[in-house]
């Protein structure tokens, strides 16, 4: 990478490959600790903080680079709630057997948060997940199932070892997993003709034809990724669990969607407390093959690059009420285009009933709307069209306080920071060239 391009964020090779590059907040204490890989290990640590009334504001995980039998966790703590930090560190070391390091992070005020400039740099944070694939909550349907937990670890290992440019490893799904998929596939497909938007219903038969979408078969991410690239340039990347909002949205800026490969527990095929492959492939993928929706999704990602934390939260909320739980108009009817709706048999019916509140999509209002995570949404926002939603998003993005604009160059798969005359001239030349092609084409069809 050219050194001149690195000045705004600092030389990326001097930054940590692990620590979240966000602007420093007063009173935040950061720790890294290592734990042996065993069931309930992380739960013990979290219980220690809870018992002492300490608020964790951020947590990330990755396999240890020093010991294959351990995992490393990075956490942020509210400093005002840690009067006895030494005692907590001692407890982690002596009672739990963790290796703990306190980090000192001195950053300049108002520093622009780090963001990836090339698609290869997505490798830097793809494993910084907020929840580890096999570290399930106690109320998860698969928590007491050792076979399911072991299977989740297999999927997590695939994601941890993946690097950009590699083919996504193919998975041989078990008979039980295919049966779970089949139940979800069959029930949801019966609702799509009447409840899903036109774009979803237009693409779904193509996925059946080219990507192996069938009741008795779980499609492979690699096949779908290749299909999406031919449609809109979007691609899939395996991920072990939930990424932070900043990292997930940054992927969209490159037209990369981080997708899980694991499937929900067989005991509750119509319920999942987290995104799984049913949610990703039945809810998200069909719309990523639509050019207008793909551009809208990328616009959200581009708006997030270098944005302050409070705007990341607003953009994540906009994403929630559009890409995840959005409704759109089709003539005199309302249809669902949000993946959270299109992958939920119950909520897909509920959202188009008379029970929820329906509001027009006004991003200034939508961006600050509170929402529940574990139950049906009490309110949904309706977009006039994807084109209208894009225009509203662009206007909203102009309110984000950052000293530059960004553009994705699909030829180099890099983010261009438009903060100097040379960059703007290059952009103008590109636009001029495209306008020439447009004018030439218009003359030939007269």
Above 90 in pLDDT, residue 47?
Answer: no
Q: Whose CA is closest to 21, among 246, 316, 239?
A: 246
| Range from 74-83, 178-187, 362-371 carrying the lowest mean pLDDT | 74-83
195, 200, 265, 279: which is the annotated catalytic residue?
279
61, 343, 344, 405: which is the annotated catalytic residue?
343
Q: How far apart are CA 75 and CA 95, in angstroms?
A: 19
pLDDT (tens digit per residue) in 226-284: 999 999 999 999 999 889 999 999 999 999 999 999 999 999 888 888 899 999 999 99
For the chain, what percent of residues have pLDDT higher than 90? 56
140, 195, 265, 284: which is the annotated catalytic residue?
284
Query: How much is the pLDDT for 21?
Result: 38
Above 60 in pLDDT, residue 108?
Answer: no
20, 135, 177, 324: which is the annotated catalytic residue?
324
Axis-axis angle for helices 291-304, 309-319 (nearest 10): 160
pTM of the model as a whole: 0.76
Q: How far apart are CA 322 and CA 369, in angstroms?
A: 12
Q: Is 202 a catalytic residue?
A: no
Question: Do residues 141 and 96 make contact, with C-beta atoms less than 8 angstroms apart?
Answer: no
Q: Is 164 a catalytic residue?
A: no
H or E element: which one contains 103? strand 99-103
Q: How far apart are CA 208 and CA 225, in angstroms?
A: 14
Confidence of residue 79 (pLDDT cuts 50, 70, 90): low
Axis-axis angle for helices 221-231, 198-210 (nearest 10): 120
Query: How much is the pLDDT for 115?
Result: 92
Q: Is 343 a catalytic residue?
A: yes
Confidence of residue 26 (pLDDT cuts 50, 70, 90): low
| Phi-psi domain of 110 (left: phi exceeds 0; alpha: psi -120 through 50; beta: other) | left
Q: CB-based contacts of 389: which residues, under 8 Å, 6+ apart?
A: 296, 322, 326, 361, 383
pLDDT (tens digit per residue) in 116-167: 999 999 998 888 887 655 577 777 887 888 899 999 999 999 999 999 999 9
Q: Map residue 349 onto helix, strand or coil.
A: helix
How remote is the C-alpha of 283 from its chain's centroid? 14
Q: Whose CA is closest to 68, among 130, 160, 163, 164?
A: 160
Evaluate the CA torsion angle 281, 264, 38, 29 in order and state its sign: positive
Q: CB-based contacts of 73: which residues, under 8 Å, 6+ apart?
A: 32, 33, 34, 35, 42, 45, 59, 60, 61
pLDDT (tens digit per residue) in 412-421: 999 998 877 7
Above 70 in pLDDT, residue 314?
Answer: yes
Q: How far apart are CA 253 and CA 117, in angstroms?
A: 10
Q: Is 324 a catalytic residue?
A: yes
Query: How much is the pLDDT for 88?
Result: 75
Q: Residue 345, Cβ neighbours under 10 Å: how many? A: 17
Please give the average per-residue pLDDT across 67-91, as a whole number: 71
DSSP codes joined into one string, 213-249: -BTTBPPPHHHHHHHHHHHTS-EEEE-SSPBPHHHHH
Q: Map residue 182 onto helix, strand or coil.
A: helix
Question: Do residues 338 and 279 make contact, with C-beta atoms less than 8 angstroms apart?
Answer: no
| Range from 34-38, 237-241, 317-321, 363-367 carrying the lowest mean pLDDT | 34-38
Average pLDDT of the chain?
A: 85
């Amino acid at each position: 990478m050219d050194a001149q391009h690195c000045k705004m964020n600092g030389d990326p090779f001097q930054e940590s490959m692990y620590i979240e590059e966000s602007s420093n907040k007063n009173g935040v204490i950061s720790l890294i600790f290592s734990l042996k890989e065993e069931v309930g290990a992380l739960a013990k640590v979290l219980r220690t903080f809870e018992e002492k009334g300490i608020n964790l504001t951020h947590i990330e995980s990755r396999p240890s680079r020093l010991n294959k039998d351990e995992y490393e966790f990075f956490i942020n703590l509210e400093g005002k709630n840690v009067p006895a930090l030494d005692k907590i560190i001692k407890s982690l070391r002596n009672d739990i057997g963790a290796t703990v390091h306190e980090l000192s992070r001195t950053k300049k005020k108002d520093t622009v948060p780090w963001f990836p400039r090339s698609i290869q740099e997505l490798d830097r944070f793809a494993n910084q997940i907020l929840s580890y694939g096999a570290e399930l909550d106690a109320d998860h349907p698969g928590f007491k199932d050792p076979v399911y937990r072991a299977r989740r670890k297999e999927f997590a290992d695939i994601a941890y070892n993946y690097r950009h440019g590699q083919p996504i490893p193919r998975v041989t799904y078990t008979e039980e997993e295919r049966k779970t998929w089949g139940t979800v596939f069959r029930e949801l497909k019966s609702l799509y003709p009447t409840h899903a938007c036109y774009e979803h219903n237009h693409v779904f038969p193509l996925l059946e034809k080219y990507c192996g979408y069938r009741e008795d078969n779980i499609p492979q991410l690699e096949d779908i990724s290749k299909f999406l690239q031919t449609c809109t340039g979007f691609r899939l990347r395996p991920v072990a669990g939930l990424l932070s909002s900043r990292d997930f949205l940054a992927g969209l800026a490159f037209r990369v969607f981080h997708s899980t490969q694991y499937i929900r527990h067989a005991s509750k095929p119509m319920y999942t407390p987290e995104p799984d492959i049913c949610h990703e492939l039945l809810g998200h993928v069909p719309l990523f093959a639509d050019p207008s929706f793909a551009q809208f999704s990328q616009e959200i990602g581009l708006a997030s690059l270098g944005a302050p934390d409070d705007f990341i939260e607003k953009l994540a909320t906009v994403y929630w009420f559009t890409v995840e739980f959005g409704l759109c108009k089709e003539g005199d009817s309302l249809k669902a285009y949000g993946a959270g709706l299109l992958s939920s048999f119950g909520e897909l019916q509920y959202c188009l009933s008379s029970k929820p509140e329906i509001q027009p999509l006004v991003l200034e209002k939508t961006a600050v709307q509170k929402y529940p995570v574990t139950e049906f949404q009490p309110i949904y926002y309706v977009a006039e069209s994807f084109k209208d939603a894009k225009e509203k998003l662009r206007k909203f993005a102009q309110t984000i306080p950052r000293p530059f604009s960004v553009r994705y160059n699909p030829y180099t798969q890099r983010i261009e920071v438009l903060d100097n005359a040379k960059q703007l001239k290059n952009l103008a030349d590109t636009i001029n060239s495209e306008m020439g092609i447009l004018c030439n084409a218009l003359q030939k069809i007269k």
